[in-house]
Amino acid sequence: MPQYDPREQYRELCCAILQLAISDWRGLESLTERTRRNRRRRLLRFFRSAWFETLCTIVAIPAENIRERLGIKEKGKRETIVHPVEARVF
């Protein structure tokens, strides 16, 4: 019988949260303009947050790699963000 490891389930939960956020980012284009702006702003806050960094550390994926693949620049930089459909992470 396999040994129960709560850390693995916690890691799987963290992966699911990250995958959902990435999926939401990629789905922005299908939303109305107003909804897209609001959701994009919330997602950018998430992808630039300490919580995002922590989730990435837990699943052993560099946060900057995900941001780069999604076209999200560092906070404070006013550069163009890559179209969500063009972004590929996994």
pLDDT given for residue 76 in this prediction: 59
- Report the phi/psi class of residue 3: left, alpha or beta, with left for phi > 0 and alpha for psi in -120 to 50: beta
Q: How many CB atoms lie within 10 A of CB 82?
A: 15
The series of mean pLDDT values per 10 residues for the chain, 90 residues long, is: 80 96 95 94 96 95 95 65 45
Over residues 30-53, the pLDDT tens digits come to 999 999 999 999 999 999 999 999
pLDDT given for residue 80 in this prediction: 42
